[in-house]
Structure 1
Amino acid sequence: MDENSTLSPAHSDAAASSSANTPPLPYVPSALAPFAGLWRGEGEGAYPTIDDFAYTEEIEFAPTGKPFLAYRSRTREAGSGRPLHSESGFLRLVGEDEAELLVAQPTGFTEIHRGQVREGTIELSMVVLSASPDAKPVHSIRRQLSVRGGDLTYDLWMAHDLTPLTHHLHGHLRRD
């Protein structure tokens, strides 16, 4: 490489850290960087067809060295610690400031959402919702993620069976 060439962030990190004999930090697209990391906190759930509930949650957006973050979420009932819900997938950059969230749930759903990344917030609209034949009748999901300082908040809306799109979950987590 000649002295006029420029290095990508992944290469420049590797070059800088190889001199210190430490592994390079994985590349993270700058628009997704605020979301990267491990987050722990609490949430509340409500829906017209169920009793309100509280939960604890751990979310991780893990760097992969590629232009996406691996995503996982695990929730537990507040108080008892009983496992409630889990999901995993990827948060990826699909344009300069557009993100796509791909989610798989063990309840038989896969989701694809897209939205603009603006000042640490992603308003995600559903592109595809697929369900296994015996999954519950969920018809639509919408999500919003926001990072401010060391706090991650999110909201989720869901349309289920005969209930139209309704706010269902709110979470507030802190960077671990």
Structure 2
Amino acid sequence: MASLACPFYQSAKLDKAVSSLDWLLGNWESVEPGKGSFPSLKDFRYTEDLHFAQMGQPIINFMFNASDTGTNRVAFIIAQNSGLVEVEEGELVGKKLSLHTQALARPSFAKEPHVKEVSRVFQLHPDGKLEQTLSMSTEKQPMTQHLHVTYSRLP
């Protein structure tokens, strides 16, 4: 898995309240598959990417995605700065990752209309550009394309 880069943790002054966590900041990926077990589950292996960042506030942003090494299924857990938290699951086919909402949470005072469902597709093109298309539905709008953006990889 490729790590997600974010330059913010490098350029912002680290807040004193979280300065003892400076060793954690950055992008991480599993070196080899991790091992999981629980009494009610069959033992499993998985891979994972982690991203720890801060932007000068006394907060550490943590994001990760994990996938089962024996499948093309992927899970993203996304916490947006708007307060919306998403659990998305999907499948990786070649250089295309399609994700769909499994769960949403938001603060009780979140602005309406509330998002009800999200569908997200990442596609890597032969020229190295990454394209993302996001569709969503709200309490007042059926599933509709909301965002479309193309990215270049940072050095």
Short-chain TM bin = 0.5 to 0.7
Looking at structure 1, the residues matched to 109 and 85 of structure 2 have their Cα atoms a distance apart, in angstroms, of: 13
AA of the residue aligned to 1:171: V
Tell me the number of residue pairs that the alignment of Structure 1 and Structure 2 aligns: 109
Aligned to 1:90: 64
TM-score, length-scaled by structure 2: 0.60
Task: Name the structure 2 match of 1:70.
Answer: 50
Structure (1/2) with the larger strand percentage: 1
- Point out the structure with max Rg over C-alpha: 1
Gap regions ≥5 residues in structure 2: 7-25, 35-46, 53-60
Superposed displacement of residue 89, structure 1? 2.5
8 Å CA contact 2:121–2:133 kept in 1: the answer is: yes
Aligned counterparts, 1:91-106, within 5 A? 91-94=65-68, 95-106=70-81
Q: Indicate conservation of the 8 Å contact 2:3/2:50, yes or no.
A: no
Contact 2:3–2:29 (CA<8 Å) still a contact in 1? no
Which structure has more RCO (C-alpha within 8 Å, separation ≥ 6)? Answer: 1
Match of 2:88 among 106, 109, 113: 113
Q: Give TM-score, length-normalised by structure 1.
A: 0.53
Identity, in percent, stands at 21
Structure 1 residues 148 and 97: alpha-carbon distance in aligned structure 2, compared to 1, 3 A threshold: same
Q: Which of 142, 156, 167 lines up with 2:119 in the alignment?
A: 142
Taking a change above 3 Å as real, the CA distance of residues 147 and 71 of structure 1, as seen in their structure-2 partners, is: farther
SS across alignment from 1:164? coil
Aligned runs of 1:17-36 on 2, under 5 Å?
33=1, 35-36=2-3
* Letter in structure 1 aligned against 2:63: G
Root-mean-square deviation (CA, aligned residues, Å) is: 2.7
Q: Is the 8 Å Cα contact of residues 84 and 105 (structure 2) preserved in structure 1?
A: yes
